[in-house]
């Protein structure tokens, strides 16, 4: 304002420049448009300053009047602005004492009377000013007149009926409005009559309007008549709104009930825009804040109810709560006034005025309006009408006839949907406002679902046309499903039909969409509505009630209750059931049986709930000890297998979950896949198979199913087909196999870093076993085309996918078998010939065609050097064959056929079985019997063909370009060892394959060396196995030992199966030519010595593992020993040594490691039961002992022994000594072989332990090259070998004599120098103990086992003693006799010395009873 004040310079220079400046200022203000109010104030200020200058006398009156006259042109309302200025100045000058200023003001106003109308001035100036201006005559009369007019306007009520109205007029009015309107009577005609009545009877127009509305209420169906009448009669919305508001107010008393007709009238007037919603809304109760409070209160009450249902309540508290509830119910009985807003909303929905209805619903909390049934039903009806045309076109099922919904007459109603695109306009919005309360109208629910199905059919058939539009519609349907359909299903009471109807839509969605919807439903939907909160709590309460009473006996009634509960609230029910199963695994069977009353949708929800429970991040998948998988995971896995097998549930989600877990490097969940495959396909993982089962597993599919598994899992055809389809449809078969194959090593190197070794082993076994099981399932269920199409070649599997070789061949093996058989069938069809020889040739041709590319592809798997020893053909043949190809399990077939015969006999003898059932069962058994016999015949032909093929191939198998030893090494390293621990069947296969290669007389294959390498040192192999691998390795050793034991048991068998075979040659030339001389063969007695050596080596390795104290060593060797118990130990003293060590383990581990204790106790008991079958050593392999003296004698035996007193020995040193001495003195013995044999010829003839003269060893001579190589290899072996514990320590019976010998004293000092202090003390104690024992022992009695235990020496002492003996033996002792582990009769010191010397000498020779035959003379 300060800037706008007229400057004094303008007034002084008014004529020159001031006038123009002022006019310019006013013009600028009038033309500027920043804001009307601001401009108005600025103009008023300018005029006020100008007028004030006139009042002060600074500006002449005529000058000001002239300027004001010019200013009037700038704005239309300038006269009103000037009048406002005069009004202010009138008040201000009226208060001044200076009369001249008042006169100046009056003169100014008088000069401006031309500019401002008189009426405006009369409104704004005081009566006294007006009187002075001459505008009015007298101010006093003017004031009185104003009072009268105001009174008449604002206070006087015009009630014509008080004096002049006649009741007859109202009666005629009502008659006029209530007449029959069906004729030609129109609202215009009636309106004319009403006007006549008003005029004739002086009726009050407002009362007439009220009566019109009253009649309209009574005749609310006559909208077409009354709405135009009211519109023509009264066009003022406010008046109409006031009358309606007054009517609504009348019903706002307690217990008042507003009639529906009034709501209808108001809705109709709103729809036709005769009144505004905002004007009417303020007249309605309750107020919006009270509605919000009520909604919050409902949520709080729902949560309290939910909390009470989950709380454990004491009985005394229950009574208090009941009293409180009664009080609340009494309070509720006092009915509050109607919710008029909801009543109006319902009326609007009924007449189809969606816009106004939506506006009212927006004023309220979400779903508050729809939670009232009447509103929900009205909205559902509107939806029925809106979707009717589209539903008739795309939603009605074939053959269905539904009641037609007629469209609303009102033009303002929503337009019916003709296409899916129309649903987006209003239908989806209406459904979102309806929310879970669609449950009030199941028919509409079904219609919406069917529309969804119709849309999905169009969506799936859509060929990328309008893809964006269709995707938008799909997302809309998914949103409606999430926000409306699923919550509504929750509030429906046990409506299984709606659940199945909804599944018809859901099954068209991919499982990812479905599971996301289930997740929203379970975790979020129930928390969004008060009603759903209550329902959730009630469902959990009911689920608890059912689960507490669920047993095997009441499965059927409980199952029905579960079914009812699951139709509406499956997520909540299954979540609770799964939580119970995770705690109590004995519930699995009754729960699975009770789920047969579920709907298809419920089964799908169950699959989701199981996956969600498995993926729960809050649950630990390991127990607290970190060594075993948690029980809850095992329970859920077991439930998965049972549920998915029994019920038609989609597997894709579960399989994808396991795949994703494997991708993430987590193998715990493979347990689920294992259970699913086992239950659905009937393929078990069982390393603990009986011999009969293992035999059955080598047969065909039918024999496997009947006799190969612990549980007879029948009727797996449908379930295995479902599993196969799920894997193929979602392309998960190969990825799962590859991930499992890769994850085996991942368990150890990636996943198992911080985990307990025991757990890592279990996870590795689980991963491996599941791979074997899953691969077996694919091989037996996939068609040839499907399998070949999905499994790439071996080189791609290994090189591109980094699959381990054993797993790659395991996956490829069925493919080769399929291809060979299909190619064989093709060749048979092309050339018709039934002769067996022709068939064999065709089979071999088929094998060549199929396997030739495989031979080429395996070359890239290993370095080129490997193929110098074994051919790719041999490698591929070994890995591509199975036990089914090598032998026919005739016993297993006979056993199963006999079982079926027994069953048929039992069926005949069963009097209780109905005849029809008898007939069916007998037919089943007969059919099965025929199948088995046919399968046996088919396998027999196949095996004959395979053996014929191998016979032709064998000459090209082993190339042996380096050495035979290297060939066996490669064979064991690349073939036998990886495969023998792959599965139990593979373990048997490996042993059988070795035997087969031997029987085929394969060139360059040394059977003796192969068996020797297998049995010689098993420590490292055993220590590196997992628990299940140890079982398989034990089974492999058992099969190998079984073969060896059979050959050992009878000379005739040995001569027949080994006598003239190249694998048992003892002279192996470097040229690769196998001499056929009978003398070159290992004879039967020498073979028995070799077998004894192998038994001893096994004992030595076993004792070493037991003494390490390492958990893995002890566990694995106990498992292996248990597996080979039938074939080992056979020698009594070896068995006793093992028994003592195992007994010690039992004592040590009882409190520390219970699982080792259990294993040891189990083995110990079985070992004791095998004692009667053990034989002394001299029966196991014949040994001719020297002549024994009947009494103690002194025999001179080398220097220093003359004159020594006789002594007796209680225990002979085990063969360990001989074997280790031999290893210590190999280099010397190799250079002295010829000399030793000559010396033997000059000495008196002594029969050696192999039954032949010692001169036979001269035949074990090799060429110089082979000797050098052998020497180097043996030196290397000596360096690599670790000292192993012995089964029995050497008895120190001759310590006293050794101390007296001058040659021995120095060696004893050396021993003391080499031994650490603690060992020296122990050595002294042992010496003392041995002297005491000598004094106490009788001449011919054996020492007890306890004394033997005390006599054990540390390993270093034994090594020193061995060195001493080796040096002593090289001084000239030449005779050699094998020593026994235990002397059966007493003998003198001299005889003992002689026996020891002979045995040492025999060790220096190449006797087959020790390792020289196998290790020294074979290159």
Report d(CA 553, CA 545) in Å as an integer. Answer: 16
1331 vs 321, higher pLDDT: 321
Per-residue pLDDT of 1224-1240, as tens digits, reads 333 333 333 333 333 33
Band of the pLDDT at 1351, cuts 50, 70, 90? very low
Backbone angles phi, psi at 870, to 5 degrees: -125, 145
1209 and 1387 Cβ atoms separated by less than 8 Å: yes
Report d(CA 1094, CA 637) in Å as an integer. Answer: 44
pLDDT at position 858 is 84
640 and 547 Cβ atoms separated by less than 8 Å: no
Per-residue pLDDT of 510-560, as tens digits, reads 999 999 999 999 889 888 888 888 888 889 999 999 999 888 888 899 999
Tokens describing residue 616:
């729960």
Best-predicted range by mean pLDDT among 94-98, 460-464, 1294-1298? Answer: 94-98
Judged by average pLDDT, the poorest of 318-332, 888-902, 1364-1378 is 1364-1378
Nearest to 727 by CA among 680, 767, 666: 680
Band of the pLDDT at 1367, cuts 50, 70, 90? very low
Report d(CA 673, CA 638) in Å as an integer. Answer: 10
Report d(CA 854, CA 766) in Å as an integer. Answer: 30
Band of the pLDDT at 1340, cuts 50, 70, 90? very low
Report d(CA 1029, CA 764) in Å as an integer. Answer: 10
78 and 71 Cβ atoms separated by less than 8 Å: yes
104 and 91 Cβ atoms separated by less than 8 Å: no
Angle at 636 between CA 635 and CA 640, to 5 degrees: 120
| Per-residue pLDDT at 1218 exceeds 90 | no
Contacts of 1168 (CB under 8 A, 6+ apart): 1139
pLDDT at position 34 is 54
Q: Where are the alpha helices (DSSP H) in 881-1006?
A: 883-886, 890-909, 915-953, 964-971, 977-980, 984-999
Mean pLDDT of the region 79-107: 87
Place of tokens 């080796």: 1366
pLDDT at position 517 is 93
Band of the pLDDT at 1149, cuts 50, 70, 90? confident
Report d(CA 62, CA 536) in Å as an integer. Answer: 90
Place of tokens 């290790």: 1415
pLDDT at position 488 is 93
DSSP labels for 157-174? Answer: ---HHHHT--HHHHHHHH
pLDDT at position 1189 is 39
Side-chain-side CA neighbours of residue 1152 (13 Å): 9
Report d(CA 304, CA 302) in Å as an integer. Answer: 5
| Per-residue pLDDT at 315 exceeds 60 | no
646 exposure class (CB count in 10 Å sphere: 0-12, 13-18, 19+)? middle
836 vs 467, higher pLDDT: 467
pLDDT at position 312 is 55
Report d(CA 327, CA 1171) in Å as an integer. Answer: 85
Per-residue pLDDT of 51-76, as tens digits, reads 888 888 888 888 888 888 888 888 88
Mean pLDDT of the region 668-684: 83
The dihedral formed by the CA atoms of 1306, 1311, 1313 and 1315, expressed in degrees to the nearest 10: -170
681 and 755 Cβ atoms separated by less than 8 Å: no
Neighbours of 1206 (CB within 10 A): 16
pLDDT at position 1070 is 45
Neighbours of 1379 (CB within 10 A): 25
| Per-residue pLDDT at 1309 exceeds 50 | no
Q: Is the four-CA dihedral 145, 148, 149, 150 of positive or negative sign?
A: positive
Judged by average pLDDT, the poorest of 268-277, 1085-1094, 1362-1371 is 1362-1371
Mean pLDDT of the region 1175-1181: 86
pLDDT at position 1161 is 92
Report d(CA 812, CA 797) in Å as an integer. Answer: 9
Contacts of 727 (CB under 8 A, 6+ apart): 655, 733, 736, 778
| Per-residue pLDDT at 334 exceeds 90 | no
Band of the pLDDT at 1270, cuts 50, 70, 90? very low
430 and 348 Cβ atoms separated by less than 8 Å: no
Report d(CA 382, CA 427) in Å as an integer. Answer: 9
Nearest to 1076 by CA among 1001, 980, 1161: 1001
Buried b (16+ CB within 10 A) or exposed e, 682-702: bbbbbbebeeebbbbbbbbeb
Nearest to 781 by CA among 819, 740, 725: 725
| Per-residue pLDDT at 133 exceeds 60 | yes
1419 and 1070 Cβ atoms separated by less than 8 Å: yes
Backbone angles phi, psi at 939, to 5 degrees: -70, -35
Mean pLDDT across the chain, nearest whole number? 77
Rounded to the nearest 10 degrees, the angle between the axes of helix 61-71 and helix 19-31 is 30
Judged by average pLDDT, the poorest of 164-168, 611-615, 662-666, 987-991 is 164-168
1335 exposure class (CB count in 10 Å sphere: 0-12, 13-18, 19+)? exposed
DSSP labels for 605-646? Answer: HHHHHHHHHHT-TTS-SB-TTSSSB-HHHHHHHHHHHHHHHH
What three-state secondary structure class fits 1065? strand
Q: Where are the alpha helices (DSSP H) in 1170-1316?
A: 1177-1180, 1215-1224, 1226-1231, 1233-1242, 1264-1280, 1295-1300, 1302-1314
Report d(CA 132, CA 903) in Å as an integer. Answer: 136
Contacts of 1396 (CB under 8 A, 6+ apart): 1213, 1365, 1379
Nearest to 965 by CA among 1070, 1057, 1079: 1070
Report d(CA 1322, CA 1289) in Å as an integer. Answer: 14
Mean pLDDT of the region 834-856: 76
833 vs 920, higher pLDDT: 920
pLDDT at position 234 is 77
CA distances from 150 to 135, 145, 147, 154, 156 (A): 21, 9, 5, 6, 9
pLDDT at position 531 is 87
Judged by average pLDDT, the poorest of 8-22, 954-968, 1013-1027, 1319-1333 is 1319-1333
Report d(CA 1041, CA 1015) in Å as an integer. Answer: 9
854 and 816 Cβ atoms separated by less than 8 Å: yes
Angle at 1059 between CA 1054 and CA 1060, to 5 degrees: 150
Tokens describing residue 819:
């291809």
Tokens describing residue 608:
């989701």
Mean pLDDT of the region 334-359: 86
Place of tokens 């078990």: 684
345 vs 1327, higher pLDDT: 345
Tokens describing residue 520:
């929203």
Contacts of 859 (CB under 8 A, 6+ apart): 867, 872
pLDDT at position 1237 is 36
Per-residue pLDDT of 830-844, as tens digits, reads 766 556 667 777 778
Per-residue pLDDT of 254-288, as tens digits, reads 777 899 999 999 999 999 999 999 999 999 988 98
DSSP labels for 295-343? Answer: HHHHHHHHHHHHHHHHS---HHHHHHHHHHHHHHHHHHHSPPPP-HHHH
pLDDT at position 480 is 93
Band of the pLDDT at 486, cuts 50, 70, 90? very high
| Per-residue pLDDT at 638 exceeds 70 | yes
pTM of the model: 0.68
């Amino acid at each position: 304002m300060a800037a706008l004040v007229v400057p004094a310079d303008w007034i002084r220079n008014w004529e020159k420049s001031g006038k123009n400046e002022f006019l310019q200022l006013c013009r600028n203000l009038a033309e500027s448009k920043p804001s009307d109010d601001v401009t108005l104030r600025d103009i008023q200020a300018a005029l006020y300053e100008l007028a004030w200058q006139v009042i002060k006398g600074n500006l002449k009156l005529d000058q000001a009047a002239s300027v004001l006259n010019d200013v009037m042109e700038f704005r239309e309302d300038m006269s009103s602005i000037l009048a406002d200025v005069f009004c202010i100045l009138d008040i201000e000058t009226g208060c001044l004492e200076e009369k001249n200023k008042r006169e100046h003001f009056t003169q100014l106003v008088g000069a401006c009377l031309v500019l401002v109308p008189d009426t405006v001035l009369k409104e704004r100036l005081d009566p006294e000013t007006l009187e002075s201006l001459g505008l009015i005559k007298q101010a006093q009369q003017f004031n009185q007149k104003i009072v009268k007019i105001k009174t008449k306007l604002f206070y006087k009520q015009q009630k014509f009926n008080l004096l002049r109205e006649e009741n007859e007029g109202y009666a005629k009015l009502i008659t006029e409005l209530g007449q029959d309107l069906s004729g030609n009577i129109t609202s215009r005609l009636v309106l004319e009559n009403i006007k006549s009545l008003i005029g004739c009877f002086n009726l009050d127009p407002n009362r007439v309007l009220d009566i019109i509305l009253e009649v309209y209420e009574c005749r609310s169906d006559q909208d077409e008549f009354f709405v135009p009448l009211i519109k023509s009669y009264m066009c003022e919305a406010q008046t109409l709104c006031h009358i309606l508001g007054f009517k609504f107010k009348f019903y706002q008393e307690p217990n008042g009930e507003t009639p529906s007709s009034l709501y209808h009238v108001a809705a109709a007037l709103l729809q036709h825009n005769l009144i505004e919603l905002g004007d009417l809304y303020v007249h309605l109760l309750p107020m919006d804040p009270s509605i919000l409070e009520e909604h919050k209160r409902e949520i709080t009450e729902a949560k309290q109810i939910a909390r009470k249902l989950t709380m454990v309540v004491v009985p005394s508290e229950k009574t208090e709560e009941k009293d409180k509830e009664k009080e609340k119910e009494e309070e509720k009985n006092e009915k509050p006034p109607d919710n008029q807003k909801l009543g109006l909303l319902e009326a609007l929905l009924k007449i189809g005025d969606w816009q106004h209805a939506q506006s009212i619903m927006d004023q309220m909390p979400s779903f508050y309006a729809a939670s009232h049934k009447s509103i929900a039903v009205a909205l559902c009806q509107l939806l029925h009408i809106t979707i009717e045309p589209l539903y008739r076109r795309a939603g009605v099922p074939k053959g269905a006839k539904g009641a037609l919904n007629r469209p609303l007459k009102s033009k303002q109603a929503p337009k019916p949907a003709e296409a899916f695109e129309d649903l987006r306009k209003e239908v989806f919005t209406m459904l979102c406002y309806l929310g879970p309360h669609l449950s009030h109208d199941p028919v509409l629910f079904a219609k919406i679902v069917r529309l969804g199905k119709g849309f999905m059919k169009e969506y799936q058939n859509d060929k990328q046309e309008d893809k964006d539009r269709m995707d938008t519609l799909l997302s809309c349907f998914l949103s409606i499903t999430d926000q409306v359909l699923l919550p509504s299903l929750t509030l429906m009471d046990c409506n299984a039909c709606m659940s199945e109807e909804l599944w018809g839509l859901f099954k068209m969605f991919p499982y990812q969409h479905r599971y996301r919807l289930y997740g929203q439903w379970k975790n979020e939907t129930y928390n969004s509505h008060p009603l759903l909160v209550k329902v959730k709590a009630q469902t959990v309460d009911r689920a608890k009630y059912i689960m507490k009473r669920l047993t095997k006996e009441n499965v059927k009634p409980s199952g029905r209750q579960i079914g009812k509960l699951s139709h509406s609230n499956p997520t909540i029910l299954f979540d609770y059931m799964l939580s119970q199963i995770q705690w109590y695994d004995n519930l699995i069977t009754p729960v699975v049986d009770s789920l047969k009353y579920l709907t298809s949708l419920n089964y799908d929800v169950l699959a989701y709930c199981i996956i969600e429970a498995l993926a729960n991040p809050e649950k630990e998948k390991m127990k607290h000890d970190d060594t075993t998988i948690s029980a809850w995971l095992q329970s859920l896995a077991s439930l998965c297998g049972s549920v998915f097998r029994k019920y038609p549930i989609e597997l894709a989600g579960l399989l994808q979950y396991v795949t994703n877990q494997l991708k993430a490097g987590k193998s715990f969940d493979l347990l689920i896949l294992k259970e699913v495959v086992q239950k659905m396909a009937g393929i078990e993982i069982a390393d603990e198979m009986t011999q009969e089962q293992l035999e059955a597993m080598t047969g065909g599919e039918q024999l496997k199913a009947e006799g190969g598994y612990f549980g007879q899992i029948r009727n797996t055809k449908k379930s295995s087909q479902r599993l196969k389809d799920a894997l193929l449809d979602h392309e998960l078969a190969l990825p799962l196999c590859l991930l499992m194959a890769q994850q085996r090593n991942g368990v150890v190197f990636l996943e198992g870093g911080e985990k307990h070794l025991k757990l890592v082993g279990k996870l590795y076994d689980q991963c491996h076993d599941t791979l074997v099981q899953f691969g077996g399932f694919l091989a037996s269920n996939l068609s040839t085309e499907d399998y070949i199409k999905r499994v790439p070649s071996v080189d791609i599997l290994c090189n591109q996918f980094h699959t381990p070789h054993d797993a790659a061949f395991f996956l490829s093996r069925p493919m080769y078998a399929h291809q060979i058989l299909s190619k064989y069938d093709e060749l048979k069809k092309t050339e018709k010939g039934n002769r067996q020889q022709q068939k064999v040739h065709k089979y071999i041709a088929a094998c060549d065609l199929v396997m030739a590319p495989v031979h080429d592809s395996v070359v890239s798997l290993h370095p080129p050097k490997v193929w110098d020893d074994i051919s790719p053909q041999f490698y591929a043949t070994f890995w591509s064959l199975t036990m089914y190809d090598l032998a026919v399990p005739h016993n297993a077939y006979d056993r199963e056929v006999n079982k079926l015969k027994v069953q048929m006999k039992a069926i005949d003898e069963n009097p209780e079985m109905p005849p029809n059932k008898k007939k069916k069962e007998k037919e089943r058994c007969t059919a099965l019997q025929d199948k088995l016999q046919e399968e046996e015949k088919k396998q027999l032909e196949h095996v004959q063909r395979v053996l014929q093929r191998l016979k032709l191939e064998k000459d090209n198998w082993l190339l042996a370009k380096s050495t035979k030893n290297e060939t066996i090494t490669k064979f064991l390293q690349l073939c036998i060892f990886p495969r023998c621990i792959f599965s139990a069947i593979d373990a048997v296969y490996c042993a059988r394959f070795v035997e087969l290669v031997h029987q085929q007389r394969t060139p360059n294959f040394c059977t003796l060396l192969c068996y020797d390498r297998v049995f010689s040192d098993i420590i490292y192999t055993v220590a590196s196995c997992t628990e299940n691998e140890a079982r398989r390795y034990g089974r492999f050793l058992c099969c190998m030992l079984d073969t060896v034991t059979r050959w050992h048991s009878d000379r005739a068998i040995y001569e027949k199966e080994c006598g003239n075979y190249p694998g048992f040659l003892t002279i192996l030339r470097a040229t690769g030519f196998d001499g056929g001389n009978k003398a070159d063969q290992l004879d039967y007695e020498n073979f028995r010595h070799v077998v004894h050596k192998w038994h001893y080596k096994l004992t030595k390795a076993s004792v070493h593992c037991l003494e390490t104290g390492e958990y893995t060593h002890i566990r694995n060797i106990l498992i292996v020993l248990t597996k080979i118990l039938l074939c080992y130990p056979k020698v009594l003293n070896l068995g006793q040594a093992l028994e003592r060590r195992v007994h010690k383990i039992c004592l040590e581990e009882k409190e520390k490691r219970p699982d080792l204790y259990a294993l040891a106790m189990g083995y110990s008991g079985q070992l004791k039961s095998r004692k009667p079958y053990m034989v002394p050593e001299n029966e196991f392999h014949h040994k001719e002992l020297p002549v024994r003296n009947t009494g103690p004698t002194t025999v001179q035996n080398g220097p220093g022994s003359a004159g020594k007193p006789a002594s007796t020995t209680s225990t002979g040193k085990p063969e360990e000594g001989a074997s280790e001495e031999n290893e210590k003195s190999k280099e010397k013995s190799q250079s002295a072989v010829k000399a030793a044999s000559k010396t033997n010829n000059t000495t008196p003839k002594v029969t050696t332990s192999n039954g032949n003269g010692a001169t036979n060893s001269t035949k074990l001579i090799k060429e110089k090259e082979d000797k050098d190589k052998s020497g180097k290899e043996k030196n290397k072996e000596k360096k690599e070998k670790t000292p192993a514990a012995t089964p029995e320590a050497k008895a120190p019976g001759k310590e006293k004599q050794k101390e007296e010998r001058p040659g021995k004293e120095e060696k004893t000092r050396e021993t003391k120098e080499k031994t650490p202090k603690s060992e020296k003390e122990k050595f002294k104690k042992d010496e003392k103990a041995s002297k005491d024992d000598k004094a106490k022992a009788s001449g011919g009695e054996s020492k007890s086992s306890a004394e033997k235990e005390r006599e054990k020496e540390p390993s270093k002492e034994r090594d020193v003693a061995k060195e001493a003996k080796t040096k002593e033996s090289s001084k000239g002792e030449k005779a050699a006799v094998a020593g026994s582990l235990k002397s059966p009769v007493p003998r003198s010191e001299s005889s003992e010395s002689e026996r020891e010397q002979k045995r040492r000498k025999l060790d220096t020779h190449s006797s087959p009873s020790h390792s020289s035959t196998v290790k020294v003379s074979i290159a």
